[in-house]
């Protein structure tokens, strides 16, 4: 005997479907459509075909932004995949006072990234504590232009991202390590496996799912980096805009009453495609793993 009307399930899912259509699918489709126009904020644009995408290939600023985002992803993915695992292995031990260490490592996660970036700016300024300390110990003759040089600025932003993300991904690994049976480690020890061998043969396979998930999350976040570079460069994108990320370039191109909405939409579509690529790679690796198992 049916206890509800045929349309009851549709009524239950309707709010979620409307939310996805209005705030997810429609903005995406509208961005794709605008990328083929020369729209401005106060003017309806005309169809220009692939002109915005052709302009992108010749845009020096886009080249800088793409380089910055790709380097950001290439450096951040291995660092934020391996270091939190090592940290989790360190703090999962049941020794007195270990809870305090776990809490300390998690502090950067709850801190505002803007506030942390401002503190970072103060530390790495030419008259900041880092330069003054190095000069006080006689390691430098003159201050290092951490926030003015292109590569130093990028390195500082990556260091900030890694430092802030360690605690968050450490917690993910702690949960994953809880599912790795101790009997596997004990059996490996009986077979004569050392700590490094057990790390490779027992721990890594046990947390592989978490590693793939973290790699995907870090790759997407790195391609969409904004706050760290924006605050450290004071919104300029570094010398000559060479440290612009793709998101910073989209904001720079599309903002204001004279913003080029069509070109900014084309940049957004390119960023979407660049973000999807690492996700497809991770999904393919996970599929290969299931096929083998």
Q: Residue by residue, what is the 3-state secondary structure of 252-290? A: HHHCCCCCCHHHHHHHHHHHHHHHHHHHHHHHHHHHHHH
Give the C-alpha separation, 189 to 196, whole Å.
11
Phi, psi of 142 (to 5 degrees): -140, 155
Give the C-alpha separation, 42 to 258, whole Å.
8
Confidence of residue 110 (pLDDT cuts 50, 70, 90): confident
Please tell me whether residues 250 and 186 are part of one structural domain: yes
Please tell me whether residues 122 and 212 are part of one structural domain: yes
Confidence of residue 155 (pLDDT cuts 50, 70, 90): very high
Please tell me whether residues 6 and 56 are part of one structural domain: no
Q: What is the pTM of this model?
A: 0.84
Instruction: Give the pLDDT of residue 77.
Output: 92
Please tell me whether residues 143 and 63 are part of one structural domain: yes
Angle at 227 between CA 33 and CA 101, to 5 degrees: 135
Q: Report the share of the chain in percent with pLDDT over 90.
A: 36
Q: How many domains does the chain have?
A: 2
Tokens 């270990």 sit at which residue? 98
Q: Which of 12-16, 41-45, 50-54, 146-150 has the lowest mean pLDDT?
A: 41-45
CB atoms within 10 A of CB 175: 11
Greater confidence (197 vs 2) lies with 197
Please tell me whether residues 4 and 104 are part of one structural domain: no
Residue 291 above 70 pLDDT?
A: no
Please tell me whether residues 25 and 86 are part of one structural domain: no
Please tell me whether residues 14 and 152 are part of one structural domain: no
Q: Which of 76-85, 170-179, 184-193 has the lowest mean pLDDT?
A: 184-193
1: domain range?
1-30
Tell me if 224 sits within 8 A of 271, measured CB to CB. Answer: yes
Angle at 144 between CA 142 and CA 148, to 5 degrees: 130
Please tell me whether residues 152 and 21 are part of one structural domain: no
Please tell me whether residues 26 and 161 are part of one structural domain: no
Count of helices and strands (H, E) across the chain:
15, 0
């Amino acid at each position: 005997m049916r206890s509800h009307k045929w349309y009851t399930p549709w009524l239950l899912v309707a709010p979620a479907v409307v939310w996805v259509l209005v705030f997810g699918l429609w903005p995406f489709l509208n961005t794709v459509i605008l990328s083929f126009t020369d729209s401005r904020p106060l003017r309806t644009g005309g169809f220009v075909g692939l002109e915005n995408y052709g302009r992108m290939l010749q845009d020096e600023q886009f080249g800088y932004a793409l380089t910055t985002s790709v380097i950001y992803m290439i450096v951040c993915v291995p660092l934020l995949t391996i270091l939190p695992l090592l940290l989790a292995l360190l703090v999962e031990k049941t020794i007195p006072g270990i809870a305090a260490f776990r809490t300390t490592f998690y502090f950067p996660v709850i801190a505002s990234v803007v506030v942390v970036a401002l503190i970072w700016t103060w530390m790495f300024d030419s008259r900041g504590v880092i330069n003054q300390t190095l000069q006080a110990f006689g390691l430098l003759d003159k201050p290092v232009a951490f926030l003015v040089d292109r590569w130093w600025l990028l390195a500082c932003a990556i260091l900030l991202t890694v430092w802030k993300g360690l605690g968050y991904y450490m917690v993910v690994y702690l949960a994953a390590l809880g599912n790795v049976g101790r009997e596997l480690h004990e059996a490996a020890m009986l077979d004569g496996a050392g700590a490094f061998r057990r790390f490779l043969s027992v721990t890594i396979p046990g947390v592989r799912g978490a590693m793939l998930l973290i790699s995907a999350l870090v790759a997407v976040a790195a391609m969409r980096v904004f706050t760290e570079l924006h605050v450290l460069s004071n919104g300029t994108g570094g010398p000559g805009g060479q440290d612009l990320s793709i998101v910073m370039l989209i904001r720079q191109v599309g903002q204001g009453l004279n913003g080029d909405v069509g070109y900014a939409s084309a940049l957004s579509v390119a960023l979407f495609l660049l973000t999807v690529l690492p996700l497809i790679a991770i999904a393919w690796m996970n599929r290969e793993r299931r096929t083998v198992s």
